[in-house]
A = this chain, B = another copy of it.
Amino acid sequence: MPRPPGHGPGFEVRRQKIIDIAASLFAQQGYAATSINDLGRAVGLAKGALYYYIGSKENLLVEIQSRVMGPLLSRARQIADLDMDPLLRLRLLSESLLTIIFRRLDHIWVYEHDYRSLSGDELKTLLAQRSDFEQLISDLLSQAMEQGMFRTMSPRLATLQFLNLHNHTYQWVKPDGQWDAQFLSHEYCATLFRGFGAPDHALPKVEKQAQEFKRDRPGLPLDPEAEWEATAG
């Protein structure tokens, strides 16, 4: 993000601080619901000075997004390139992802919630980055399947489960809470690696029961919006 030439030494520092505060406000109230006035008040700067630093409101979104996605993608590529067990690399990647979620929770909120507010080009860049990240996961999962560590399954679906489990974390996690990134990574990977591992005997039974239930109890459809007719007894 090369700024026009001629900025004093403190410029970039203050600029970063403003982006931080913006991320915090956007995370709390949403991008659309946060006005430049709100930001100015929080920063302690009049509107004019604010624009001196930020360029535009949408540009803040771009900065926030790239501050999250740039480092993450870069580190993720390094990890994926390691000459190691795919499972280990997945585990490391998982912790890396969770680490940035913990550290930059505000940014992640914005990133996950308001990326639709980006205009065409910026949105395209963002989606490409997301896609690159997903591909790294997908490749590792495929390798794990090929090496027999996971049962054979749709790599796409496995990827999506991995991402669901990690990416939704921002919705409830508390950076200063009882769990840290390492612990969550450990737990998530334990679930996923076991879950993706060789089939055991418990599963088929439940699945069969579920089929029977649906057959035998048409009066209690799983569709929450289906009409309800009690079979009571």
Contacts and interface: CB of A to CB of B under 8 A. Distances in A.
Interface in A66-110: 71-72, 74-76, 78-79, 82, 84-85, 87-88, 91-92, 95-96, 99-100, 103-104
Interface string A8-38: 0000000000000000000001111100000
B206 A202 contact: no
Nearest to A90: B206
Given A168-B164, A206-B85, A224-B99, A194 B188 contact: no
B33 A78 contact: no
Contacts of A96: 222-224
Contacts of A88: 206, 209-210, 213
Given A29-B116, A197-B194, A202-B197, A91 B46 contact: no
Nearest to A150: B202
Nearest to A30: B116
